Amino acid sequence: MRCPYCGNDDTQVKDSRPTEDSNAIRRRRVCNGCGGRFTTFERVQLRDLTVVKKSGRKVPFDREKLSRSIYTALRKRQVDPETVERMISGVVRQLESVGDVEVSSDQIGEYVMDGLKGLDDVAFVRFASVYKNFARAEDFQSFLETLESGEILVEDDK
């Protein structure tokens, strides 16, 4: 496992235990290079998913890429990492339960937006700005006005 601080691949597991929902193993790790401590969550993937990009290109689903994009949206926000991991697991379970091995990148984006909306409004808007490709300040304003008017429905609002 690569250290998030220095990028070193030489890390050591100090503690392992199942998560509260028993869907993953939580591991506390230490980097042998910089001494940094970090947590990883390891899961069994039920089936191999393929993501169909907007260009039509197909790539294997990468949970780590999904996790990185969500954590980027949540940067400097006070959200419990275990809550975030449960949300990510929920998105992956939704994708696996679709019944098809191919999922569109749009479908993934919608599931993530649903999850972030219930988790943190700022992260939701940050993610939406990248997902919906905001190009101008007016795009943010329009999105926020739509959000305030209730036109953007998420799972909890239906």
Decide if 116 contacts 123 (C-beta within 8 A).
yes
Distance CA 90, CA 31 (A): 29
Decide if 152 contacts 146 (C-beta within 8 A).
yes
Distance CA 107, CA 113 (A): 10
pLDDT tens for residues 110-158?
A: 999 999 998 998 999 999 898 888 888 888 888 888 877 765 544 343 3
pTM value is 0.65
